[in-house]
Structure 1
Amino acid sequence: MKRFRNILVSLDTRHEDQSILKLAAKVAHDDQAKLTLVDVVPPMSWMTRLLVPDHEHIEQLMKDEKQQQLDSMAGSLRDAGLKVETKVLSGKTSTEIIREVLRKRHDLVMRVSKGSDSRRKGTFGTTGWRLLRECPCTVQLVTSAHSKPTHMLACVDTATDHVDDAKLNEEILDLARTIANRDSTRLSIIHAWTIDGERLLDGRMPRGEYEQMKRSREEHVEKLFNQFLQPHGFSSNDARVSMLKGDAINVIPNFTQTENVDLVVMGTIGRSGAAGLLIGNTAEQILDSIECSVAAVKPADFVSPIKTGDYVAASQEPTSS
């Protein structure tokens, strides 16, 4: 079972709805993890700095206000027995969150999927996208409508023989099963598969040969899929398991819609298929097509392009108890 030990919760204290905090508190309670509640003060524009003589004082007031709100939120969690730190960071939200993850070795970041001020179309905002791409630990982005999932989808790709993909598949299923057990959530497992060069081959090969090739490919994919599933107590014949032919870019969004999935668990870096969704246009189209929460798992060798930076300049010292 996947256990988190050091969770960062990205909050926007300007808003009253903090349902993400309730979810994070449950995870921390069940895993006996430490919580760090974080809000970020964005940098003032150069025009503001030029025109407002006391802009540094105003910025400090904003930090103090956010710190007070975070401490208020933390109080009830501490009363419930949780270990909680609070911290206000300054700078670009995604960058400062990632820097904090690197500094403090957080193993999970939780955040709403899209900020109220976001102008980006789709389910995920700009900060969410950057965390998915660049944050070195697991990222869970939660939509307001799906703060507590009822049907979760684990996306795996067992059609390759790469060791990194195999490890990532294990991480994906482990996390999905942990969430399913914790929240009494229905779990489905999906593997989308295709035939390399199918569009070129179909219609150019004798129909009998093409159908035989298709059957052979399907049998091979199913064999590899079952080799992965069986140690975990599943098989391709289970009602909870789907091996669907088609591009992941179409199969996964369609499945989430028709089956009312409200949380997708998947990998973010891989070589192909569902274990590598966040590569180029495939990722953009899949995540722009789904309307539910996502938990994105990172491989052990993932290296963030963001550097730690100056700790003192980036944040205030944490308060804890």
Structure 2
Amino acid sequence: MNFSHLLIPIVPEQAIKESFEQVFNIADQQASHVTLLAVIEELAEFKEIYRYSGTTLNILDKATQVYHDALKQHVQTLKHRYHNIHFHTQIRIGIPSIEIIKQAQASHASMVVIDSHRENKTIACQRGSNTLNLMRKSEVPIWSISTDATEVKRVIAAIDLTNQDYHAFNEQIVALAVEYCDMVGAELTLTHAWRLESEGFLRKWSGYEDIDIALLSKKMRDERLERLQALLGPYQDSTVTKKVELLEGETRAVLPEYVVNHQVDLVILGSLSRTGVAGFLMGNTAESVLNQLDCSVITLKPDSFQSPVLQQSDA
């Protein structure tokens, strides 16, 4: 189950926002384990302090105790409302994104949930470097929640059909999407963005006319539509409302536009590389799309992915 153990990094001295309500409701419904994590950043200045004083332990000990007390208070408050959740707390010292990934492995978390929207960003929906680092390098799914605490009703899963080798991963994405929609009663749309990128080449070098281009485009569209629908085949008996949608055009333009026009509450994306974020989107394109999405986003990796953070720590 993708929601059996949620790792939630928080800033202990701040109140837990209403946007986490959707997360705790699911965890309570599933009787999940929830670990509240606080990361104390290990500042370079500590090394300088150590050179002159011989110790930084007192500073870290005090910070750890303050964070421990704050996390304990959060748990006590949450337990009064969510009786079925098994709460845990953890404090780590280091770089936040790295320590979150390490803690996810140590606690066998099934998903990391993070509030990645900050008021000091240049645009309201811009996600910070910490979130993007997690999406690039985490082995477990990352759920970046929106600032909106409203009920999730519409979910889309973005599917990459450009390579047959991605089929197993697409099945993994759809399984998570159906599981989520089944828990919250949301409707699911599988989307795939595409365009005939070789149209200019075909016209110039192969003598294709408008009718030839139209027929070829229709064949490609129909084939991709069939493959999208086939991914929903195993879930014919599911009570989740499901449909498929082909989006024609540049992904960075058509996907955010679709999300806004259809009031989508959650987007689920796959990530296939260490440097790219969103599956069929790589590098700057992926981050451009993510920073246009004001809704919640879940990104996940193939089961075969190995985090470079964990590989370095094992070295």
TM-score in terms of structure 2 length: 0.84
CA distance 1:147–1:90, shift in 2 (3 Å)? farther
Distance 1:90 1:117 in 2: 24
3-state SS, counterpart of residue 191 of structure 1: strand
Match of 1:181? 182
Contact 1:19/1:147, CA 8 A, preserved across alignment:
no
Counterpart code for 1:180: C
Q: Aligned partners of 2:154 and 2:306: how far apart in 1? A: 31
Map of 1:83 onto structure 2: 86
Provide the C-alpha distance between the structure 2 equivalents of 1:277 and 1:152, rounded to a whole number of angstroms.
18
Cα shift readout 1:180-225 (whole Å, capped 9, x = no counterpart): 2222223322121222423433566222222222222222222322
Alignment partner, residue 242 of structure 1: 245
Which residue, out of 301, 307, 310, partners 1:298?
Answer: 301
1:239-278: CA deviations, max 9, x gaps?
Answer: 842112223222211101111112101111179x997145
Q: Output aligned runs, 1:40-79, within 5 Å.
A: 40-46=39-45, 49-50=48-49, 53=53, 55-78=56-79
Which of the numbers 133, 144, 157 marks the counterpart of 2:160? 157
Q: Distance in 2 between matches of 1:23 and 1:291?
A: 16
Q: Any conservation in 2 of the 1:142–1:293 contact (CA below 8 Å)?
A: yes
SS at match of 1:153: strand
* Cα distance in 2 for residues equivalent to 1:308 and 1:23: 33
Q: Which deviates more, 137-146 or 183-192?
A: 183-192
Classify 1:104/1:118 alpha carbon distance in 2 versus 1 (closer, same or farther; 3 Å): farther
> Secondary structure at 2:232's aligned position in 1?
helix
Where does residue 319 of structure 1 map in the other structure? none
Amino acid of the residue matched to residue 17 of structure 2? Answer: Q
Moved more, 51-60 or 77-86: 51-60
Alignment of 1:232-271 (within 5 A): 232-233=235-236, 240-269=243-272
Superposed displacement of residue 109, structure 1? 0.5
Q: What's the C-alpha RMSD, in Å, of the aligned pairs?
A: 3.1
Task: Assess, with a 3 A threshold, how the Cα gap between structure 1 residues 34 and 110 changes in structure 2: closer, same or farther.
Answer: same
Q: CA deviation at 1:157?
A: 2.4
For these two proteins, the number of residue pairs brought into alignment is 304
Kindly indicate whether the alpha-carbon contact (under 8 Å) linking 1:20 and 1:111 is maintained by their aligned counterparts in 2.
Answer: no
- 8 Å contact kept, 2:7–2:109: yes
Runs of 5+ unmatched residues, structure 2? none
Q: 1:87 to 1:258 in 2, by over 3 A?
A: same
User: 5+ residue gaps in structure 1?
Assistant: 312-321
Output the CA distance in 2 between the equivalents of 1:308 and 1:32: 32
Q: Write out aligned runs for 1:98-247 (5 A).
A: 98-115=101-118, 122-146=125-149, 148-162=151-165, 165-202=166-203, 205-233=208-236, 240-247=243-250
Instruction: Classify 1:169/1:124 alpha carbon distance in 2 versus 1 (closer, same or farther; 3 Å).
Output: same
Give the whole-Å Cα distance in 1 for the aligned partners of 2:8 and 2:188: 25
Q: CA deviation at 1:70?
A: 0.7
- Cα gap change, 1:308/1:13 in structure 2, threshold over 3 Å: closer, same or farther? farther
TM-score, normalising length: structure 1: 0.83
Mapped to 1, the partners of 2:63 and 2:306 lie a distance apart of 33
